[in-house]
């Protein structure tokens, strides 16, 4: 899915509200222990903490760049699927060279079967991409009022319902018996092209062209499966996570003494401000920790571009858009063309 509009700052706050509350509590407790309970040994020099923060910033930047590369590659793959899908159906439509009126309806039926089978392939592929992997984040809402925030069609409608209306009964049983359903559908498509060529409805050169398009679609499917089935290396993700948390616990111990010294320097000119200046560390501490933690979460959320978060590649919308395009190419009746998925809260699914 993909959020259409600019991500509002208040949504970012809501997204990290639990961590934000924890950061505030952490900063307040550390300040109370230092100032009210006079535990002055609860401090460390700022320089080593600054060095840790620099290392963490580099690590998070690397992680976010890698996550963005995965998302962008996934989007390019599905962009290729869009282009090759349209080309495939246009090529099939214009490749029949028997055009006398007696067989024209037969050609239309063959074209409709091929188009429907390709839609089944698109649906099977998007369902495969939405399959939950053990390393992926679960995006089920923890707030009952949030259940309607977004929803993925693959988590509502079973794959059987999506495939059955586009495949014959025999083909449906064959496809459902296979582990890799998109691959099985491509195989059926290839067999059908060979059959039409043997019946002299396609030129041999047309078959070569169509086989090349199927080869490209299979390659794009494999690239999509590669991203889905190979997670972002956990040694990089886990190191960034642990480094941020180390920095988070060290930062208050370095900032609080710094603000305390700054307050002491104001004692002669502003004694009132001097007495309470140390408490101003709380918002600054929280802001710094929140920024690092939010950047970490952005990287973690982008590692798996097909799992179904609001900022993932909108493969459901893309697949439905392709289906509508190719059905219109073959002049299908409007009432038989499925409607595009509606956006929920400006989110493409």
| Ranges of each domain in the chain | 2-133+149-344
Q: 295 or 343: which carries more pLDDT confidence?
A: 295
Residue 191: how many CA atoms within 13 Å on its side-chain side?
A: 8
Average the pLDDT over 102-114 and give the result.
83
Instruction: Assess whether pLDDT exceeds 90 at residue 24.
Output: yes
The pLDDT tens digits for 122-139 are 999 999 999 988 888 755
Whole-prediction pTM: 0.84
Buried b or exposed e, range 299-310, using 16+ CB within 10 angstroms: bbbbbbbbbbbb
pLDDT in tens, 34-46: 999 988 888 899 9
Nearest to 126 by CA among 296, 315, 336, 288: 315
The yes-or-no verdict on residue 2 having pLDDT over 80 is no
Summarised one tens digit per residue, pLDDT across range 162-207 is 999 999 999 999 999 999 999 999 999 999 999 999 988 898 899 9
The answer to whether the beta carbons of residues 329 and 86 sit under 8 Å apart is yes
Residue 221 has pLDDT above 70, yes or no: yes
What does the pLDDT average to over 11-15? 77
Distances (CA, A) of 72 to 68, 319, 343: 6, 17, 21
8 Å CB contact between 191 and 205 = no
Q: Please report, rounded to a whole number, the percentage of residues in the chain having pLDDT higher than 70.
A: 91
Would you state the pLDDT for residue 212?
Answer: 97
**Nearest CA among 23, 147, 126, 14 for reference residue 77:** 126
Per-residue buried b or exposed e for 2-30, using 16+ beta carbons within 10 Å of the residue's own CB: bbeeeeeeeeeeebbeebbeebbebbeeb
Q: What is the pLDDT of residues 243-282, one digit of tens each?
A: 999 999 999 999 999 999 998 888 878 888 888 899 999 9
């Amino acid at each position: 899915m993909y959020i259409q509009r600019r991500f509002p700052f208040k949504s970012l706050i809501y997204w990290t509200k639990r961590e934000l509350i924890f950061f505030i509590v952490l900063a307040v407790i550390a300040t109370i222990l230092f100032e009210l309970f006079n535990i002055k040994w609860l401090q460390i020099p700022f320089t080593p903490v600054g060095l840790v923060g620099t290392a963490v910033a580099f690590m998070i930047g690397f992680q976010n760049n890698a996550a963005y590369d995965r998302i962008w590659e996934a989007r390019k793959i599905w962009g290729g699927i869009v282009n090759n899908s349209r080309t495939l159906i246009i090529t099939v439509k214009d490749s029949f060279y028997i055009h006398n009126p007696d067989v024209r309806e037969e050609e239309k039926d063959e074209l409709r079967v091929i188009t429907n089978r390709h839609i089944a392939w698109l649906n099977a592929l998007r369902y495969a991409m939405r399959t939950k992997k053990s390393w992926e984040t679960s995006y089920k809402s923890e707030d009952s009022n949030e259940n309607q925030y977004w929803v993925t069609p693959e988590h509502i409608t079973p794959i059987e319902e999506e495939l059955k209306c586009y495949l014959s009964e025999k083909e449906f049983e064959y496809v459902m018996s296979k582990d890799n359903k998109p691959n099985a559908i491509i195989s059926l498509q290839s067999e059908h092209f060979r059959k039409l060529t043997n019946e002299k409805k396609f030129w041999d050169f047309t078959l070569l062209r169509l086989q090349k398009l199927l080869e490209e679609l299979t390659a794009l499917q494999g690239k999509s499966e590669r991203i889905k089935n190979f997670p972002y290396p956990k040694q990089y993700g886990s190191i960034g996570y642990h480094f941020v948390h180390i920095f988070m616990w060290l930062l208050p111990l370095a900032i609080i003494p710094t603000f305390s010294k700054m307050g002491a320097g104001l004692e002669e000119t502003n004694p009132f401000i001097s007495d309470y200046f140390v408490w101003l560390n709380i918002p600054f501490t929280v802001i710094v920790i929140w920024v690092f933690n939010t950047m970490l979460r952005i990287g973690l959320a982008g590692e798996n571009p097909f799992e179904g978060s609001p900022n993932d590649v909108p493969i459901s919308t893309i697949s439905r858009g392709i289906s509508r395009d190719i059905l219109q190419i073959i002049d299908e009746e409007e009432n038989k063309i499925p409607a595009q998925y509606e956006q929920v809260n400006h989110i493409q699914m």
